[in-house]
Structure 1
């Protein structure tokens, strides 16, 4: 005898399977969106580094980015040399080297993204650096939280680390002498950095 329709058990099984698929795809979509936001923020810093390089050349003065911790996150300003001796942290704080824009925060343009590291295990720095990343300083440009671009087309060398606060980690590596900028992504599965 032919049946029309579904039994209550069949409908419940179909509903449960649909719920599982929807929740799985929503979680996957959330991870994809978080990765896209973090990658976009890293690429924006790479573009900003190049723009500041050309600005320093065109204005014939040192310009740069001055970073400062602000609670759980960081903020930064674009700064310019005010007295011809390059950028100095003390002079930025005193107003001799002046702020041209800011303060800026990564999370303003990219929801959930911040300068920093994801929680969890030890992550090595981007090669050729050695050791283990950690701590609270994602601005790895020497002791000062200042990136300087000279009128001769050179810059500070170092790495800026960005995270979604969960699993994603990107590094924007600046090689100051040749002004090469590379964006790296930490591959959690392979436990290595990729470009």
Structure 2
């Protein structure tokens, strides 16, 4: 059989199957088939976005692990004793009064990435034994997933004593490009100066 004849037979079979489908399913059948196709397409798009989010989380975890393994204090000639290390750690921490500046910087960076900010939760936890303060921030943002990743990267690079404790992604609909993300940050600072 020639390719032209095979093509004609295939076209005739497709038309015959289409007419049979229209007799049995009608317009409602077409709507169901289109809905099924849209569902499959939405599922594929959602899976790709989920894969992209997982890859972004893996890259972020890798960068955080690299950052955590990097020595904070370079060794100076020999091993530092405990008091010198503690003093170096204390000197490395920003002042307690710098907390509002860091928070405002995070909010500005989120706006620069065109993310919508919701009301956050802030909690100070002094570590009297360690001699420093943990300032915990929970910032909900909404926007494009790559913009959220960029915010996390820029914030961590800008503030050396800022750490990302957890990230929770949520998408309202599978086909939605926007995600809702809850970013849990912790900022290490010095303890507040005693009031005199």
TM-score between both structures, scaled by the size of structure 2: 0.36
The structure whose residues are more often helix, as a share, is 2
TM-score between both structures, scaled by the size of structure 1: 0.36
The structure whose residues are more often strand, as a share, is 1
The structure with the larger Rg is 2
